[in-house]
């Protein structure tokens, strides 16, 4: 098969590319960074350098493809972040139609069923709506839980201030996912025919913040580590101090508010809370420990 993948060589995209190449497929990898071209070609894939917002570029990258893996980063540009993601979605949809792509697998997120109140996830909600309107295309939307690796961003605060948490309570059930489980699901779906427009959840573990802290703490020599519910304003100020834009800090704060209100996981739990991922949080603890020790 001829398969085009987005996401360059990120947490999910790189293992997808490697798995597809190992299965004997011809893979074209979209990247916005020309510096990645050599690394992509070293894997045995073809690099297509351009912007996800450029419909003409995407059309050329999709021509002759039997399947496309579509994704957008959680933040695009420095302002109008949600609109930028929506514009990329429109470019995707136009290119899919023009290039007559028969099969699309899209990476989305828990919470994408909600139109508002979910921070950056509102962007992929809009793309899901666009892709649902694609006629004659088999589209599978994979809604991932929060990536385990996002907890690595908390290491400096744990190390320097013994602070671990977010702007929601430690007793809220979270849908969590290892990127490798997403990569496996994407790879499998790209090699399937699909069946119209489908939505599937890729979740590896359901756990509360309290349970995460109870796993991480002993592993890093902090058995008393506890989850802290951080006030919205304090969280936002911390992100601004770390150099995030006011817009992005506001969206991330809203994401946590969406968790707090139950928006992020309401559809996941309403539809059976299927945990299909194989890599459990307990297995990620060793990686967290190693990163903590190296920090």
pLDDT, tens digit (0-9, with 9 covering 90-100), for 112-145: 999 999 999 999 999 999 999 999 999 999 999 9
- Cα separation, 130 vs 55, whole angstroms: 14
What pLDDT was estimated at residue 267?
Answer: 97
Is there a single domain that holds both residue 236 and residue 285? yes
Of 74 and 126, which is predicted with more confidence?
A: 126
Is there a single domain that holds both residue 192 and residue 244? no
Residue 234 has pLDDT above 90, yes or no: yes
Would residue 156 count as lying in a domain?
no
Is there a single domain that holds both residue 27 and residue 13? yes
Would residue 8 count as lying in a domain?
yes
Is there a single domain that holds both residue 195 and residue 77? yes
What pLDDT was estimated at residue 78?
Answer: 73
Is there a single domain that holds both residue 132 and residue 188? yes
- Cα separation, 142 vs 150, whole angstroms: 19
Mean pLDDT of the residues in the chain:
96
Would residue 117 count as lying in a domain?
yes
Is there a single domain that holds both residue 196 and residue 214? no
Share of the chain above pLDDT 90, in %: 95
Using a 10 angstrom Cβ sphere, with 0-12 exposed, 13-18 middle and 19 or more buried, the burial of residue 247 is middle
Domain around 256: 206-294
Is there a single domain that holds both residue 81 and residue 18? yes
Q: What is the pLDDT of residues 13-72, one digit of tens each?
A: 999 999 999 999 999 999 999 999 999 999 999 999 999 999 999 999 999 999 999 999
> Mapping DSSP to helix (H, G, I), strand (E, B) and coil, where does residue 289 land?
helix
What pLDDT was estimated at residue 85?
Answer: 94
> Mapping DSSP to helix (H, G, I), strand (E, B) and coil, where does residue 239 land?
helix
Residue 183 has pLDDT above 90, yes or no: yes
Domain count of the fold of the chain: 2
Which CATH number do you get for residue 197?
Answer: 3.40.50.720
Would residue 154 count as lying in a domain?
no
User: Average pLDDT in the 227-244 region?
Assistant: 94
Would residue 168 count as lying in a domain?
no
Would residue 46 count as lying in a domain?
yes
Q: Which two tokens stand for residue 173?
A: 């059930």
Residue 91 has pLDDT above 80, yes or no: yes
**DSSP codes, 250-280:** HHHHHHHHHHHHTTTTHHHHHTT--------
Is there a single domain that holds both residue 139 and residue 44? yes
Q: What is the dihedral angle through the alpha carbons of 134, 176, 117, 250, rounded to the nearest 10 degrees?
A: -110
> Please, what's the b/e burial string for 101-127 (b: 16 or more CB within 10 A of its CB; e: otherwise)?
bebbbbbbbbbbbbeeebbbbbbbbbb
What pLDDT was estimated at residue 21?
Answer: 98
Would residue 51 count as lying in a domain?
yes
What pLDDT was estimated at residue 53?
Answer: 95
Q: Supply the pTM of this predicted model.
A: 0.95
Is there a single domain that holds both residue 123 and residue 228? no
Q: What is the pLDDT of residues 193-232, one digit of tens each?
A: 999 999 999 999 999 999 999 999 999 999 999 999 999 9
What pLDDT was estimated at residue 126?
Answer: 96
Domain boundary residue, one of 202, 233, 268: 202
Residue 76 has pLDDT above 80, yes or no: no
What pLDDT was estimated at residue 79?
Answer: 81
Is there a single domain that holds both residue 133 and residue 211? no
Dihedral sign, CA of 78, 80, 85, 88? Answer: negative
Q: Which two tokens stand for residue 59?
A: 């059309």
What pLDDT was estimated at residue 256?
Answer: 97
Is there a single domain that holds both residue 56 and residue 196? yes
Would residue 171 count as lying in a domain?
no
Is there a single domain that holds both residue 66 and residue 132? yes
């Amino acid at each position: 098969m001829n398969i085009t993948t987005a996401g360059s060589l990120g947490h999910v995209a790189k293992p997808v590319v490697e798995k597809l190449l190992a299965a004997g497929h011809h893979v074209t990898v979209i990247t916005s960074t020309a510096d990645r071209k050599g690394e992509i070609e070293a894997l045995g894939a073809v690099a297509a350098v351009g912007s996800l917002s450029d419909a003409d570029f995407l059309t050329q990258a999709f021509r002759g493809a039997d399947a496309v893996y579509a994704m957008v980063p959680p933040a695009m540009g420095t302002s109008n972040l949600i609109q930028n993601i929506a514009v990329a979605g429109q470019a995707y949809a136009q290119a899919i139609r023009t290039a007559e792509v028969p099969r699309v697998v899209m990476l989305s997120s828990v919470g994408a069923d909600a139109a508002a109140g979910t921070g950056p996830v509102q962007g992929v909600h809009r793309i899901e709506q666009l892709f649902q309107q694609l006629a004659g295309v088999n589209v599978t939307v994979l809604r991932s839980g929060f990536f385990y690796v996002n907890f690595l961003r908390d290491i400096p605060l744990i190390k320097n201030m013994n602070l671990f948490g977010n702007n929601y309570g430690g007793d809220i059930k979270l849908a969590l996912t290892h990127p490798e489980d997403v990569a496996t699901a994407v790879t499998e779906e790209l090699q399937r025919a699909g069946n119209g427009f489908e939505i599937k959840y890729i979740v590896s573990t359901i756990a509360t913040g309290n349970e995460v802290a109870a796993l991480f703490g002993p592993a890093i020599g902090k058995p008393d580590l506890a989850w802290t519910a951080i006030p919205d304003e304090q969280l936002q100020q911390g992100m601004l101090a770390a150099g995030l834009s006011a817009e992005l800090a506001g969206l991330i704060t809203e994401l946590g508010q969406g968790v707090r209100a139950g928006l992020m996981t309401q559809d996941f739990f309403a539809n059976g809370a299927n945990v299909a991922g194989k890599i459990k949080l307990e297995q990620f603890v060793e990686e967290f420990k190693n990163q903590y020790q190296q920090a």
